[in-house]
Amino acid sequence: MSKRILVVTGGGDCPGLNAVIRGIVKSAKLDGNWEIIGCVESYNGLLKDKIEVMPLTEKEVAGIHVKGGTIIKTTNKGGPFSFPVQLPDGSWVIEDRSQLLLQRLEEMGIEAIISIGGDGSQKISLELAKLGVNIIGVPKTIDNDLSCTDFTFGFQTAVEIATDAVDKLVTTAESHNRVFILEVMGRNAGWIALYTALGGGADVCIIPEIPYDPKIIAEKIATRYKGGEGFCNIVIAEGARDMTGQVTGTAPTAIGDEHIKLGGAGDKLKYELEQLGVQHDIRVTVLGHLQRGGIPIAYDRILATAYGVKAFELVKEKKYGNMVVYNHPEITYVPLKKVVEKPNFVNPKNDSFLCAAKKIGISFGD
Ligand code: F6P
């Protein structure tokens, strides 16, 4: 009888998810007696009253490494330990459905789960591992904020998209002598903003790890203009913090969503600069989910495929409770426990790329 692996994609979608799924399915097929099943919409496929799973054979995964999103769908709300349930009166309660999940895994004869997700998903993986579930994690997120790995897949695609945006904004900024603020994703980690500022050649880069002083940014802008001529490009992470540590966004409204909906950091900075008397025309562009959608670049397809292959290999070797990681030049693994200990943030003191950016004059507003 073939052994069954359940594949789950959790959290926000990310370019490369499908390439991981394809890597798992193709390597399992070559190995022999395995059946791969996709759990639809993260764990919800096994947590809802009606089970929703889909077979993942070579037919379903043919050519999907090129496709954005995830063919098995995802959600960043809830999970087995906090599943939102609507009561007949319309109100919502959060239920722990982990026992239901265990029961259904047993009934379906699932040998192991491969959970492709970011920090939230890998915390769930660890909790499930503690309950005895055979589970392997795969690091996903455009934010690149998971530790123990050189890169999460999806990050480089987001950087490519954001760098392309800076390239476009530079020409229009220069033509109109404008200041352009590009707001990019990055909830707590400034990796996308930092790499984009370096790749696109921005003048200012604001990241969550370094609270910014708008006065310093106004001074930097002044150095970019001579007799009214000039332009300035600013990249700001959505999770940017002012000197009081405040972020910009709105409270979550969806049930089961714990996070502030970030947005508006660019507009806030524009307002602050105008209040400080900056006279130049300041325009704000918010890149938003364009950074997450669409075709993964080759780098992410390659990394994601190798992650999928390794995840299957770990299941085969029964090395459960681990997450696949990339430690150049090796695709290897680390215990989930270690991964969730601390996130991967830009070190404001000695990150090599941050230091390089500073050495070419990029201001971080500090
Ligand atoms: O974690 C990835 C990410 O894209 C963050 O950069 C961003 O804050 C968040 O997801 C947005 O999530 P949502 O699509 O639910 O608004």
Please report the pLDDT score of residue 26 as a whole number: 98
pLDDT band at 252 (very low <50, low <70, confident <90, very high): confident
Average pLDDT over residues 255-263: 84
CB-count burial class (<10 Å; 0-12, 13-18, 19+) for 3: middle
Place of tokens 């699932």: 110
Distance (angstroms) between ligand 1 centre and the Cα of 142 equals 9
The answer to whether residue 314 scores a pLDDT higher than 90 is yes
Return the ligand 1 atom nearest residue 261 CA.
16
The answer to whether residue 246 scores a pLDDT higher than 90 is yes
Neighbouring CB atoms inside 10 A of 286's CB total 18
* Residue 73 · residue 40 · CB < 8 Å: yes
Q: Of the residues 41, 70, 76, 238, which should be mutated to test ligand 1's pocket, given the most ligand atoms within 8 Å of the CB?
A: 76
Output the pTM of the full model: 0.97
The answer to whether residue 322 scores a pLDDT higher than 80 is yes
Phi (first) and psi of residue 92, to 5 degrees: -115, 145
Q: Is the CB of 292 under 6 A from ligand 1?
A: yes
Please report the pLDDT score of residue 276 as a whole number: 98
CA dihedral in degrees (278, 280, 283, 284; nearest 10)? -30
Question: Cα angle vertex 156, ends 325, 37, to 5°?
Answer: 55
Per-residue pLDDT tens digits for 283-312: 999 999 999 999 999 999 999 999 999 999
The answer to whether residue 80 scores a pLDDT higher than 90 is yes
Residues acting as catalytic residues = 143
Please give the Cα distance from 13 to 15 (Å, whole number).
Answer: 7
Distance (angstroms) between ligand 1 centre and the Cα of 338 equals 23
Distance (angstroms) between ligand 1 centre and the Cα of 238 equals 10
Distance (angstroms) between ligand 1 centre and the Cα of 129 equals 26
Phi (first) and psi of residue 118, to 5 degrees: -90, -155
Cβ neighbours of residue 89 closer than 8 Å, sequence gap 6 or more: none
Please report the pLDDT score of residue 5 as a whole number: 98
The answer to whether residue 253 scores a pLDDT higher than 90 is no
Return the ligand 1 atom nearest residue 192 CA.
6
Q: Is the CB of 287 under 6 A from ligand 1?
A: no
Please report the pLDDT score of residue 266 as a whole number: 98
Please report the pLDDT score of residue 289 as a whole number: 97
Q: Is the CB of 76 under 6 A from ligand 1?
A: yes
Q: Of the residues 286, 292, 344, which should be mutated to test ligand 1's pocket, given the most ligand atoms within 8 Å of the CB?
A: 292
Per-residue pLDDT tens digits for 335-365: 999 999 999 999 999 999 999 999 999 999 9
Q: Of the residues 187, 191, 196, 344, which should be mutated to test ligand 1's pocket, given the most ligand atoms within 8 Å of the CB?
A: 187
Distance (angstroms) between ligand 1 centre and the Cα of 233 equals 23
Distance (angstroms) between ligand 1 centre and the Cα of 232 equals 27
The answer to whether residue 98 scores a pLDDT higher than 90 is yes
Average pLDDT over residues 128-136: 98
Q: Of the residues 9, 116, 142, which should be mutated to test ligand 1's pocket, given the most ligand atoms within 8 Å of the CB?
A: 142
Please give the Cα distance from 93 to 363 (Å, whole number).
Answer: 46
Q: Report percent pLDDT > 70 for the chain.
A: 100
Return the ligand 1 atom nearest residue 187 CA.
8
pLDDT band at 138 (very low <50, low <70, confident <90, very high): very high
Please give the Cα distance from 138 to 304 (Å, whole number).
Answer: 9
Q: Is the CB of 187 under 6 A from ligand 1?
A: yes
Q: Is the CB of 237 under 6 A from ligand 1?
A: no
Per-residue pLDDT tens digits for 186-244: 999 999 999 999 999 999 999 999 999 999 999 999 999 998 899 999 999 999 999 99
Return the ligand 1 atom nearest residue 262 CA.
8
Return the ligand 1 atom nearest residue 142 CA.
2
Please report the pLDDT score of residue 141 as a whole number: 98
- Atom 13 in ligand 1: which residue has the minimum CA distance? 12
Place of tokens 């075709």: 295
Cβ neighbours of residue 90 closer than 8 Å, sequence gap 6 or more: none
The answer to whether residue 258 scores a pLDDT higher than 80 is no
With helix as H, strand as E and coil as C, how does the chain read? Answer: CCEEEEEEECCCCCCCHHHHHHHHHHHHHHHCCEEEEEECCCCHHHHCCCCCEEECCHHHHCCHHHCCCCCCCCCCCCCCCCEEEECCCCCEEEECCHHHHHHHHHHCCEEEEEEEECHHHHHHHHHHHHCCCCEEEEEECCCCCCCCCCCCECHHHHHHHHHHHHHHHHHHHHHHCCEEEEEECCCCCCHHHHHHHHHHCCCEEECCCCCECHHHHHHHHHHCEECCEECEEEEEECCCCECCCCCCEECCCCCCCCCCEECCHHHHHHHHHHHCCCCCCEEEEECHHHHCCCCCCHHHHHHHHHHHHHHHHHHHCCCCCEEEEEECCEEEEEEHHHHHHCCCCCCCCCCHHHHHHHHCCCECCC
Distance (angstroms) between ligand 1 centre and the Cα of 150 equals 21
Please report the pLDDT score of residue 20 as a whole number: 98
Average pLDDT over residues 76-87: 94
